[in-house]
């Protein structure tokens, strides 16, 4: 594309972001500040993820972009088109064929493999944010591993709902050290983070933070001994492909109360029906 550098960002900016990424990989789960740039996309639509992807993508990469598990929703389509225009790289909807997967709110159902990079779009990187409003204090709490207050939140959940009611963005402890927000993925996807063979990168554009989980890093979801972490289960199977293992979305199909449950991961669902 004329007048623009490969992948939109200039090389100095990419270098700056790559430095932040290297630091993030070296300290799994630790939030690294970076100089987030204005992107041709509103905040909240993936400006952090798009900058991380732009910094790691090369001409030989194959890109997949998903939004809530789907390849064909507005956010996914526009970000995929953005990189098609600014880099000319090949894109795909198949998880297995992709080298870089930028995602919002899901991790693909198909197992990730070594050499793949997953880029997460993060709205709020700080797991302690709603518990402690001061940024200086949350940083100290991370530095000193003072995470008791997170369990106070889980405790409150059990008091009010009889179980931990947090369904997405469920807090995890990375490598036994840093408390991390896995971005708003359903807790169904949390077990996929643990010892994942792929490199997981997280970018928060508005909050100007980058963090990472290197391949094969232990990632533990917080819980109580007598209220262990569990994932969602459905009484139905996918109405299209019949899968009983995947994360299901409930879809309203008419105005008479009709509904169906289908896989949220469109690529996984299509592959099973083929």
Partner 1 sequence: MNTEAIPLLRVRGLSHSYGAQVGCLDVGFDLWPGEVLGVVGESGSGKTTLLGCLSGRLTPRAGSVWFTTRAGRAVDIPRLGEAGRRRLLRTDWGIVHQNPRDGLRMRVTAGANVSERLMAMGERHYGRLRDTALTWLTSVEIDGDRLDDLPDTFSGGMQQRLQIARNLVTRPRLVLMDEPTSGLDVSVQARLLDLLRGLVGDLGLAAIVVTRDLAVTRLLAHRLLVMRRGEVVESGLTDQVLDDPQHPYTQLLVSSVLPP
Token pair recorded at residue 63: 């890109």
- 241-261 CB burial, b ≥16 within 10 A, e <16: bebeebbbeeeeeeeeeeeeb
Q: How many residues bind partner 1 (CB under 8 A)?
A: 19
Question: Closest approach of Cβ 167 to partner 1, in Å?
Answer: 19
Member of 3, 144, 254, 257 binding partner 1 (CB under 8 A): 144
C-alpha closest to that of 30 among 202, 189, 197: 202
> Is 196 considered catalytic here?
no
Report yes or no: 98 and 271 within 8 Å, Cβ to Cβ.
no
Quick check: 245 binds partner 1 (CB under 8 A)? Answer: no
Quick check: 146 binds partner 1 (CB under 8 A)? Answer: yes
Question: Closest approach of Cβ 154 to partner 1, in Å?
Answer: 8
Query: Which residue in the list 35, 167, 238, 257 is annotated as catalytic?
Result: 238
User: What is the distance between the alpha carbons of residues 256 and 31, in angstroms, rounded to a whole number?
Assistant: 47
* Nearer CB in complex with partner 1: 148/257: 148
User: What is the distance between the alpha carbons of residues 79 and 86, in angstroms, rounded to a whole number?
Assistant: 11
Mark the segment that binds partner 1 (CB under 8 A) among 102-110, 115-123, 168-176, 219-227: 219-227
User: What is the distance between the alpha carbons of residues 2 and 113, in angstroms, rounded to a whole number?
Assistant: 35
Q: What are phi and psi of 75, to 5 degrees?
A: -60, -45
> Is 238 considered catalytic here?
yes
Question: Closest approach of Cβ 60 to partner 1, in Å?
Answer: 46
Quick check: 195 binds partner 1 (CB under 8 A)? Answer: no
Quick check: 156 binds partner 1 (CB under 8 A)? Answer: yes
Quick check: 162 binds partner 1 (CB under 8 A)? Answer: no
User: What is the distance between the alpha carbons of residues 232 and 29, in angstroms, rounded to a whole number?
Assistant: 24
Quick check: 97 binds partner 1 (CB under 8 A)? Answer: no
**17 burial type by CB count under 10 A (0-12 exposed, 13-18 middle, 19+ buried):** buried
Query: Which residue in the list 29, 49, 69, 205 is annotated as catalytic?
Result: 29
- Interface residues toward partner 1, by CB under 8 A: 140, 143-144, 146-149, 151-153, 155-156, 158-159, 223-227
Active site residues: 29, 238, 241, 263, 269
């Amino acid at each position: 594309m004329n007048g623009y550098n490969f992948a939109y960002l200039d090389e100095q900016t990419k270098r700056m972001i790559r430095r932040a990424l290297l630091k993030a990989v070296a300290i799994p789960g630790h939030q690294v500040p970076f100089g987030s740039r204005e992107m041709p996309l509103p905040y909240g639509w993936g400006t952090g993820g798009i900058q991380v992807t732009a910094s790691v993508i090369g001409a030989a990469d194959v890109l997949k972009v998903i939004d809530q598990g789907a390849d064909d929703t507005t956010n996914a389509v526009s970000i995929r088109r953005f990189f098609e225009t600014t880099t000319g790289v090949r894109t795909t909807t198949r998880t297995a064929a992709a080298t870089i997967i930028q995602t919002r709110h899901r991790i693909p159902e198909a197992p990730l493999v070594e050499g793949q990079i997953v880029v997460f779009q993060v709205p709020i990187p700080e797991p302690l944010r709603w518990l402690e409003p001061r940024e200086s204090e949350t940083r100290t709490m991370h530095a000193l591993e003072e995470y008791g207050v997170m369990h106070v939140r889980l405790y409150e959940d059990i008091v009010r709902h009889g179980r931990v009611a947090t369904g997405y963005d469920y807090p995890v402890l990375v490598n036994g050290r840093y408390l991390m927000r896995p971005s708003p993925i359903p807790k169904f996807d949390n077990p996929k983070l643990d010892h994942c063979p792929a490199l997981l990168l997280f970018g928060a554009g508005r909050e100007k933070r980058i963090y990472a989980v290197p391949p094969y890093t232990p990632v533990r979801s917080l819980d109580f001994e007598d209220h262990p972490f569990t994932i969602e289960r459905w009484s139905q199977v996918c109405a299209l492909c019949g899968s009983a293992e995947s994360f299901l979305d409930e879809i309203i199909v008419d105005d008479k109360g009709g509904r169906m449950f289908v896989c949220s991961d469109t690529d996984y669902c299509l592959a099973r029906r083929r």
